[in-house]
Amino acid sequence: MDSPFSWLYAIYTAQDYANVRIDAQFTNQAGSPSSTGLICRYSEEDGWFEYNVSTDGSYNLLYGSWLAVGIADYLPITDGSSNLVQPSGAPQLIGLMCSDTALALYINDTIVRNVDVTNYGLTEGKVGVTASSFENTPVVVVLERVIVSEP
């Protein structure tokens, strides 16, 4: 990404999932701070859950929805920080399990948070990945693999 404060999304549109786990191994090769994330239960009409992990060691879980074409609104659900986040240039593994009314957030196969999402009403949808730049550019994120599985 060559522009500051940019967000890129890739949504797998071939299938909807109710209960799903997404794992992504990636390397942030240039640019900091930035974030890489996972999406579950994506629906253009109803919104989605988005789990982001930043190069500064922080993470957040958001409920996203479209206000208009290309303009998203985000409601923070939870956030935190973890010493499990690897520095820029090191391979990183993040995971998101969407199961019934709870989401589990993983960093390097270690669960960092369980979150009750009953009140958001999202029960199924598409999955995807995201990357974002903050104030510094360029940002280069290499997704080495993405695994989607049904628990």
Which domains are assigned to the chain?
Answer: 7-149 (2.60.120.560)
pLDDT band of residue 141 (cuts 50, 70, 90) is confident
Q: What is the mean pLDDT of residues 18-44?
A: 88
Residues 84-119 as b/e (b if ≥16 CB within 10 A, e otherwise) read bbbebeeebbbbbbbeeeebbbbbeeeebbeeebee
Structure tokens given for 20: 């799903």
pTM, entire model: 0.92
Summarised one tens digit per residue, pLDDT across range 83-121 is 998 766 678 899 999 999 999 999 999 999 999 999 999
- Mean pLDDT (the chain) is 90
Residue 35, pLDDT above cutoff 90: no
Measure Cα distances from 106 to 35, 41, 73, 129 in Å. 15, 17, 24, 15
pLDDT of residue 88: 67
Find the distance separating the first CA and the last CA of the chain, reported in whole Å. Answer: 33
**Percent of the chain residues past pLDDT 70, beyond the cut:** 95
Q: What is the mean pLDDT of residues 5-34?
A: 86
pLDDT of residue 29: 66
Residues 36, 129: contact at Cβ < 8 Å? Answer: yes
- Pairing status of strand 20-30 against strand 110-116: unpaired
H or E element in which residue 12 lies: strand 7-17
**Percent of the chain residues past pLDDT 90, beyond the cut:** 64
What residue has token string 């191994």?
25
